[in-house]
Amino acid sequence: MEGPSDGHITLGPGDAYINSSTAPADTTSSSSPHVSKLQKLLYRRMLIGVNDGRYFLGLFHCIDKQGNIILQDAVEYRSARHSSSSPMEQRCLGLILIPAACRSSCHVDCFIEEQMSLLSLDK
Residues 101-119: pLDDT tens digits? 999 999 988 888 877 776 7
Mean pLDDT of the residues in the chain: 78
Residue-level pLDDT at 97: 97
Say if residue 37's pLDDT is above 90: no
Residue-level pLDDT at 88: 86
Say if residue 66's pLDDT is above 70: yes
Q: Tell me the torsion sign for CA atoms 13, 74, 112, 23.
A: negative
State pTM to two decimals. Answer: 0.68
Type and span of the H or E element at 118: helix 112-119
Over residues 20-43, the mean pLDDT reads 68
Q: What distance in Å separates the CA atoms of residue 77 and residue 12, rounded to the nearest whole number? A: 22
Residue-level pLDDT at 46: 95
Residue-level pLDDT at 5: 43
Residues 44/60, Cβ–Cβ less than 8 Å? yes
Say if residue 7's pLDDT is above 80: no
